[in-house]
Structure 1
Amino acid sequence: MIVRTLAELSQTPNHVVTDEWRSTRLVVKSDGVGYSVHHTVVPEGSTVHCHYKHHYETNYCIAGEGEVLHVDSGETFPVTVGTVYALDQHDQHVLKATKGDLHLVCVFNPPIQGDETHNADGGYDLG
């Protein structure tokens, strides 16, 4: 059984901070379960461009408000507490935190190592 807390991971390589977001990777590739789970925070007013060409991602909002733009279709969807959105086609998207810090529980398949930041495309390389 794997049991971890945000607090204990906050001083490890699994807590990644960038100018646009911070993410604590709670379950990672080395755990061997086939996916990774992250708690990601996008500060109010921040915008994050993402394009996970090698990963599927599902996000569940647990705090704050924002919006996600599906780049190919031009559609924008509200993201509020209780909203889930899944990038089932490696969708290029732009996430913006509009009211309060946006807190998301994110699941990636395949899992990431845990210390990555986005590459030039706004995604992660296969590790």
Structure 2
Amino acid sequence: MRETPCTHPTRAQGKATVIVRSFKDIEGTDRHVKSRSGTWESKRIILAKEGVGFSLHETTVYAGTETTMWYANHIEAVLCVEGETELTNEETGEKHLITPGTMYLLNGHEKHTLRPTVDSRFICVFNPPVTGREDHDENGVYPLLTEEATA
């Protein structure tokens, strides 16, 4: 078996690579973001500074709200773990019922709207990773912020 030198930045530097944290650990910290719109909150457990090429979030969207988003700078994969939400693809008008165990992937930067009938919780993965400071602008877009890896 041939060995290949490690090129991962933290591993190549001999730094610890195992990170263990819980969503409960980040409640009330700067990783726990509540939207200016008041329609969602996000616990961002893995961020750009971890240097792994993606970010991982637990996002709750509140019942009876409507949130239009457009990730012009990011690809997002979303797994519903609790609740029930109507997802509308604003580009095609297609509507989908999102329930626990359902995943949707926004790999074409689709503008979309979420309308939860009950509080709904999702696990979300973003590429490129977010820094943790992002909130949607007036167009529903996260700005493309960058940050050096520190993990």
Asked whether the two chains share a fold, i.e. TM above 0.5, the reply is yes
Q: Distance in 1 between matches of 2:69 and 2:129?
A: 16
Trace 1:77-88 onto structure 2 (pairs within 5 A).
Answer: 77-88=96-107
Q: Distance in 1 between matches of 2:101 and 2:58?
A: 15
Correspondence for 1:15: 32
Structure 2: gaps (5+ residues)? 1-17, 146-151
Larger gyration radius, structure 1 or structure 2 = 2
Correspondence for 2:144: 126
Correspondence for 1:41: 60
Q: Structure 1 runs of 4+ off > 4 angstroms?
A: none
Q: Is the 8 A contact 1:15 1:115 kept in 2?
A: no
Residue among 30, 48, 54 paired with 2:73: 54
Say how many residue pairs are matched: 126
Q: Distance in 2 between matches of 1:4 and 1:81?
A: 23
Structure 1: gaps (5+ residues)? none
TM-score (ref. length: structure 2): 0.81
Q: Which has the higher strand share?
A: 1
Q: Is 6-15 or 54-63 further displaced after alignment?
A: 6-15
SS in structure 2 of the partner of residue 62 of structure 1 = strand
Correspondence for 1:3: 20
Measured on the aligned residues, the alpha-carbon RMSD in Å equals 0.8
Larger RCO (alpha carbons 8 Å, 6+ apart): 1
Shift in Å, 1:3: 1.1
TM-score (ref. length: structure 1): 0.96
Correspondence for 1:74: 93
